[in-house]
Amino acid sequence: MAPKRVPRAVLSLYASVLRCHRHMLPGPLRDMGNRYARDEFRRHRDANTTPGQWREFQAEWRKYVGMLAGTADVAGGSGDIPLDTLERMTPEQKQRLAVLQEEARRAGQEMLGIKQDQRD
């Protein structure tokens, strides 16, 4: 079976994400971000992604790169996910989000030198 074709713009965006991680994130967050990006780009590559889904996927990742680079024009850039977006997420997406939130919390604690028993 032939490999699925990924739009060239998507490959370029993936490279931009990794480049932004390399320049903007400290080691633990960079590693976590790279893993998450790799997994998400692969999931979309391996799925039956429609052109419309590719456009939305790219738009969200461009916002992310802009946010990291400090060039984003993100309304309400609190990092909170809007309720309507959460409601549209599949159970699998919600589970991946929970895992990502936990990894981010742990990475933040590591960076600040907070041990598990010091939290409570």
pLDDT digits 0-9 by tens, 19-54: 999 998 888 889 989 999 999 999 988 888 888 888
Domain contains 3: no
88 vs 109 pLDDT, higher one:
88
Domain contains 1: no
Domain contains 90: yes
Mean pLDDT of the region 79-98: 86
Integer CA distances (angstroms), 69 to 28, 65, 110, in order = 18, 6, 23
Question: Collapsing DSSP states into helix, strand and coil, what is residue 76?
Answer: coil
For 10-37, b/e burial (b = at least 16 CB within 10 A) is beebbebbbebbeeebeeebbebbeebb
Q: Is the pTM of this model over 0.85?
A: no
How many domains are contained in the chain? 1
Domain contains 120: no
Domain contains 80: yes
Q: Which domain holds residue 61?
A: 8-114
Residues 21/37, Cβ–Cβ less than 8 Å: yes
Q: Would you say residue 3 has pLDDT above 60?
A: no
Domain contains 119: no
